[in-house]
Structure 1
């Protein structure tokens, strides 16, 4: 039997042809057509768009808080502290709310959380920073109740798309869409500030976020979704050794990215042009977009755990040359190279999370990935600052290289744990199992998680 820690092939009968992870022979496209196939599926475009819009407050939260604090006359120290409280609260709240979604369903948790989070930002925008305890409490509430829409969407994909290969391709599309959101979101908030004010921008972006959450939770798949039954355990998703191994690795991936944001500012200062920082981040995002599109546009054979090891190795190799800090043109090219394997690593990690999340904890498990990544990014920014001040800009980028290497070492050291039995995608109980499906077929169906061109021999 599949171990308790990795689930029991929950609801695998609702996924077409999970045994080989291939296209199931029903016309699923490859290449760019594969993405079109995903978006043509009923509800898919609505869920993806609604989730991205609903997550805009999270994507813009730190910069919105900084801009608002500065507009109110606060210093950078206060702005940074408020943004840090927001980020910390978000890291705490995501797995807690994710577990609540698994227990209570999406509608009962996601929408109330979105409303409470938005109200926290409303309090900040209306009350300002005159009362610091109130300001800190407002951003803490806003962060703590940030709805786990990201984990919720990944829990919905199996019930919306059915076949395993389409679900995996949706994960890649999800990773690519994130790059667009985290690039466009800050631009949107700065546009709102220039058109109105920092306070109005804060109100507008959070109102938009609530509308996005509403679009998701009122959809038929979200309303019908129920997590598979779970065995009560205080550790929840964290009782899975495979999930812990993945989270350990992606803490260091987050650390690498966080350090790049600080080192990039130092590099721009060294060259006397603030715009260079924007070029570096844009190049990083462009590389991730290209890599993510390519990764999701083809089928992949073999277990995703082994594939993730290779991708993270390439990601680590891409981070190392940044420490050379060459001229601006070459550095921009290196930034694009460094981003090339980021979206594929994230997309592949989604598959691994889904396979190793204990039964009935899929939303919580995905939310833990969000939290771990965010905490790692915060640690990266904290480490890169002293590295630049005590050493040089190269030292700041060296933190990114070290993060990539450590992520690879964690994956390498835990391959035996990750190679343990996983399960097929967590499909909502609301979809009935085919009558001919047996427990033995479920166990066999969980054996091959990756994309493949046809059935296993």
Structure 2
């Protein structure tokens, strides 16, 4: 089982690229909580705290495809360096002047979000230029999907730890420094510096000209809705059973499940097509979500969210592969950035809808939201399978050039 990972990680630059890229992506896990704690430390009301934190997420979702298109046109080196500097300045502006008013704080988080360096899509587009064995690309995708759980588990913990020692302001400064150091380290290897996307057709729609990508984004939005809903229903569930902090246990179990599932998925070779795999994985996740509607006892709830997590990272890795195979020439980075945007948008929508459902209809109904979102994603994927053909291999369609 470990042979596939050893073969992948023993390729030149792979370990370094993973480590530096994940360091640069730590703000994905640190920034939302860091922003909220900083604003609350300056007695900003919860309404404005929520609005500003949501604005950061929206800005990140909007900026990702634009920066991805810039990478496809001009390469990874300069786009990552410039965007990392601009985003870090946004965080520093928030720390230095953010408590002076809503407008200043909003402008700071917009800058920090819009210019958040597209490290995720950049890492996924570099693999065809680094990995000699095309089969190792799917292993790298699975490892990436699993390791990003580390970002969302350790990021908030780091914010709390730094905040308890030095304050919420320094926690945001560390967030900016991690972004700068990770981005700077990632662009050092030659494959990153010389990477260029293939020739592209000039068109305003860019990567969205691919009908495969457009349909897949609907599926990924459904997956994101489930994730956003889970963040809310776990809090509602802990209040229902009267166990403060139990939402963290549930979300942690989900993250551990995602880590385990992703590692297992990446260690095996699968004979079915990527879309067919995605349908099965989404169906398993949906079934786990729907079982929660019964509001089970805590131990069983932990097991069910763990099971849902088992399918999460494989579903993401499978989506990476489908996007890598279907991205139109010269648009791979933008295509991967659209994936991040779809999941983020779905996450925000899922949280908003679930909060309203919980308030007006109760816990049982709120547990339906992630299950229904998953069911829609499965249905779209099934319809997709009836009409779509699997595109060419990733090394032909999605990879950039080595020089």
* TM-score normalised according to structure 1 size: 0.86
**Counterpart of 1:453?**
none
Instruction: Between 316-325 and 253-262, report the one with greater CA deviation.
Output: 316-325
Matched, 1:177 2:147: yes
Matched, 1:371 2:338: no
Aligned mates of 1:162, 1:239 — CA distance in 2: 29
Equivalent of residue 265 in structure 1, options 235, 249, 265: 235
The answer to whether the 8 Å contact 2:332/2:399 transfers is no
Matched, 1:100 2:70: yes
Higher helix share: 2
Matched, 1:210 2:186: no
Aligned mates of 1:85, 1:347 — CA distance in 2: 28
The answer to whether the 8 Å contact 1:305/1:418 transfers is no
1:125-151 CA distance string (max 9 Å, x none): 011321221110000010000011000
The answer to whether the 8 Å contact 2:125/2:332 transfers is yes
**Counterpart of 1:311?**
281
**Counterpart of 1:142?**
112
**Counterpart of 1:439?**
none
Aligned mates of 1:327, 1:206 — CA distance in 2: 41
**Counterpart of 2:53?**
83
Matched, 1:47 2:9: no
Instruction: Between 368-377 and 211-220, report the one with greater CA deviation.
Output: 211-220
Equivalent of residue 400 in structure 2, options 428, 431, 434: 428
Q: Displacement, 1:417?
A: 4.1
Q: Displacement, 1:78?
A: 1.2
Matched, 1:361 2:352: no
Equivalent of residue 210 in structure 2, options 229, 240, 247: 240
Distance 1:42 1:176, change over 3 A: same
Aligned mates of 1:416, 1:122 — CA distance in 2: 50
Q: Displacement, 1:41?
A: 1.3
Aligned mates of 2:333, 2:131 — CA distance in 1: 17
The answer to whether the 8 Å contact 1:241/1:417 transfers is no
Matched, 1:322 2:281: no
Q: Displacement, 1:33?
A: 2.5
The answer to whether the 8 Å contact 1:72/1:128 transfers is no
For the pair shown, the structure with the greater C-alpha radius of gyration is: 1
Instruction: Between 365-374 and 325-334, report the one with greater CA deviation.
Output: 325-334
Instruction: Between 422-431 and 260-269, report the one with greater CA deviation.
Output: 422-431
Q: What SS class does the counterpart of residue 414 from structure 1 fall into?
A: helix
**Structural mapping, 1:388-399, within 5 Å:** 388-399=358-369
Q: Displacement, 1:290?
A: 1.3
**Counterpart of 2:314?**
344
Matched, 1:277 2:247: yes
The answer to whether the 8 Å contact 2:29/2:154 transfers is no
The answer to whether the 8 Å contact 2:20/2:183 transfers is yes
Task: List structure 1 segments (4+ residues) > 6 angstroms apart after TM superposition.
Answer: none
Aligned mates of 1:221, 1:244 — CA distance in 2: 29
| Equivalent residue pairs, number | 401
Q: Displacement, 1:217?
A: 1.1
Structure 1: stretches of 5+ with no match in the other structure: 1-30, 432-457
* TM-score normalised according to structure 2 size: 0.97
Aligned mates of 1:261, 1:403 — CA distance in 2: 14
Aligned mates of 2:345, 2:388 — CA distance in 1: 22
Equivalent of residue 123 in structure 2, options 153, 164, 173: 153
Aligned mates of 1:146, 1:212 — CA distance in 2: 12
1:174-197 CA distance string (max 9 Å, x none): 000011111111111111101100
Aligned mates of 2:79, 2:377 — CA distance in 1: 33
1:39-75 CA distance string (max 9 Å, x none): 2211111111111110111222111111111111112
Aligned mates of 1:247, 1:202 — CA distance in 2: 31
Greater RCO (Cα-Cα under 8 Å, separation 6 or more):
1
